[in-house]
């Protein structure tokens, strides 16, 4: 008997997919069989491959058949139902052998093939940067086209241990991503000493706070191992990353998400500000502690971050999204919040 992969590769949709990709698509839930009258469990967006037998598609209300397919025993090519309309009902019209391919998995495989072809046309240096950026946290939510746009304008820097990439107190002019190597985030203390706030490895981004807040760098980032760092100029960061990775919502929408979706409120101001007034039910996580406290936040929750005017919350939400959390910023901050506030000690 001819392998199913060979049959599928004669169809236009599967023709350019490698055998291993096709096998991965059809191994779950696998080949199914059924008798005449049996329903076919497929959802809108899925694809049904009829290898042998008959398939009828009718409306959910029991109306007339919309389409019918049949494949005789020993037939060379399968019949494929590419589109399942909303409300359609699928039923076998005779004993049959068939496959249901999950739509989302199929789209993921096809998108991956398109990306491979797109990458092959890029300049080698840009292709290398893209290969690193697709695994970097700040870029996980971007499309390949958006990542390529960033890679084309980013500059690569070879760095050595002990080299300071950004210095506390200096103006922010670039956003950085560690391609290889490692670094530590250090902040000067009042006693003249310094404390390590975080350690960064390949794929980590830094430098966004100064760009988002329009303020000097609040920490120094020093390499602890030799490597390569990519940097994105402030204008390109705002054009290519900030608008796509940062979402702000008005107070009305924030309240709706809290009430109906159980979104959690994060106050990223200083504790002194928090003690004066805060949004009801909010949790205090100051901006300068965000990196250290990310692991304590539930990745299944939706977060709404706020500060006094919205400037700090944009930086906090950006950091949280880099870490894979679902976070948005409250537009206008607490000063524009039209609803009741909590006051006094928590």
Q: Which residues contact 80 (CB under 8 A, 6 or more apart)?
A: 11, 13, 47, 48, 49, 50
- The CATH number for 257's domain is 3.40.250.10
- Which of 216, 218, 215, 179 minimizes the C-alpha distance to 200? 179
* Residue 116 within any structural domain of the chain: no
Q: Is residue 90 part of a domain?
A: yes
Number of structural domains (the chain) is 3
Share of the chain above pLDDT 70, in %: 93
CB distance 319 to 307 below 8 Å: no
DSSP code for 253: H
Distance between CA atoms of residues 249 and 217, nearest Å: 27
pLDDT in tens, 53-66: 999 998 766 555 57
Total residues found in the chain within this entry: 346
Q: Is the pLDDT of residue 215 over 70?
A: yes
Encoding tokens for residue 260? 């109906």
Q: What pLDDT shows up at residue 97?
A: 95
User: What is the pLDDT, as a whole number, of residue 76?
Assistant: 87
- C-alpha–C-alpha distance, residues 195 and 187, integer Å: 6
Mean of pLDDT over the chain: 88
Q: Is residue 110 part of a domain?
A: no
Least confident of 63-72, 84-93, 211-220, 335-344: 63-72
pLDDT higher than threshold 60 for residue 345: no
- For residue 111, what is the enclosing H or E element? helix 103-120
Q: Same domain for 28 and 47?
A: yes
Same domain, 101 and 20: yes
Which of 128-132, 267-271, 339-343 has the weakest average pLDDT? Answer: 128-132
Residue 205: phi and psi, rounded to 5, are -110, 150
Which residue spans within the chain are E strands per DSSP? 32-34, 47-59, 65-71, 79-81, 88-101, 155-159, 164-166, 174-188, 194-200, 205-206, 220-233, 248-249, 264-267, 277-279, 283-284, 302-306, 326-330, 341-343
**Do 171 and 280 belong together in one domain?**
no
| Dist. CA 177–CA 183, nearest whole Å | 11
pLDDT per position as a tens digit, 170-202: 999 999 999 999 999 999 887 878 889 889 999
In tens, the pLDDT along 81-139 reads 988 887 889 999 999 999 999 887 887 777 666 666 666 667 778 888 887 887 787 78
* Residue 112 is assigned to a structural domain of this protein: no
Which string of DSSP letters, residue by residue, matches 301-332? SEEEEE-SSSHHHHHHHHHHHHTT-EEEEETT
In a domain, residue 296? The reply is yes
pLDDT at position 304? 98
Under 8 Å between Cβ of 235 and 341: no
pLDDT of residue 116: 65
Give the least confident one: 44-48, 111-115, 120-124, 327-331: 111-115
Domain that holds residue 297: 246-343
Q: Is residue 114 domain-resident?
A: no
In whole angstroms, give the CA distance from residue 15 to residue 2: 16
In the structure, what pLDDT confidence band is assigned to residue 280 with cuts at 50, 70 and 90?
very high
Q: Dihedral through CA 238, CA 243, CA 247, CA 253, nearest 10?
A: 120
Question: Within a domain: residue 277?
Answer: yes
Strands (E), 85-219: 88-101, 155-159, 164-166, 174-188, 194-200, 205-206
Tell me, yes or no, whether 65 and 173 share the same domain.
Answer: no
- The whole-angstrom separation of Cα 135 and Cα 125 is 17
Last residue of a domain, one of 198, 217, 239: 239
Specify the pLDDT at position 303. Answer: 98
CATH code of the domain containing 145: 2.60.120.10
Rounded-to-5 percentages of helix, strand, coil across the chain = 35, 30, 35
Residue 318 has pLDDT above 60, yes or no: yes
Q: Is residue 115 part of a domain?
A: no
Indicate whether 268 and 165 sit together in one domain: no
Pairwise CA distance, residues 213 & 310, whole Å: 9
């Amino acid at each position: 008997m001819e392998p199913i992969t060979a049959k599928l590769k004669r169809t236009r949709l599967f023709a350019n997919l490698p055998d291993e990709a096709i096998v991965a698509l059809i191994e779950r839930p696998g080949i199914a069989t059924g008798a005449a009258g049996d329903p076919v469990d497929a959802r809108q967006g899925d694809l049904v491959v009829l290898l042998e037998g008959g398939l009828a598609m009718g409306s959910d209300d029991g109306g007339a058949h919309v389409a019918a397919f049949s494949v005789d025993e020993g037939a060379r090519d399968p019949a494929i139902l590419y589109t399942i309309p909303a409300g359609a009902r699928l039923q076998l019209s005779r004993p049959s052998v068939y496959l249901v391919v999950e739509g989302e998995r199929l789209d993921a495989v096809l998108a991956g093939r398109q990306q491979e072809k797109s990458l092959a046309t890029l300049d080698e240096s840009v292709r290398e940067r893209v290969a690193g950026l697709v695994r970097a946290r700040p870029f996980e939510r971007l499309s390949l086209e958006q990542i390529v746009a960033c890679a084309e304008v980013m500059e690569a820097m070879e760095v050595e241990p002990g080299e300071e990439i950004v210095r506390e107190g200096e103006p922010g002019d670039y956003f950085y991503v560690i391609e290889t190597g490692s670094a530590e985030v250090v902040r000067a203390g009042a006693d003249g000493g310094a404390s390590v706030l975080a350690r960064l490895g390949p794929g980590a981004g830094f430098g966004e706070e100064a760009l988002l807040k329009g303020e000097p760098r609040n920490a120094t980032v020093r390499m602890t191992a030799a490597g390569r760092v990519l940097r994105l100029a402030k204008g390109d960061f705002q054009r290519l990353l900030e608008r796509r990775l940062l979402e702000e919502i008005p107070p009305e929408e924030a309240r709706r998400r809290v009430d109906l979706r159980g979104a959690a409120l994060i106050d990223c101001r200083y504790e002194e500000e928090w003690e004066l007034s805060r949004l009801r039910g909010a949790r205090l996580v100051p901006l300068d502690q965000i990196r250290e406290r990310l692991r304590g936040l539930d990745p299944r929750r939706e977060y709404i971050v706020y500060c006094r005017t919205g400037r700090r919350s944009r930086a906090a939400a950006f950091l949280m999204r880099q870490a894979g959390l679902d976070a948005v910023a409250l537009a206008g901050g607490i000063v524009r919040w039209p609803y009741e506030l909590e006051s006094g000690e928590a």
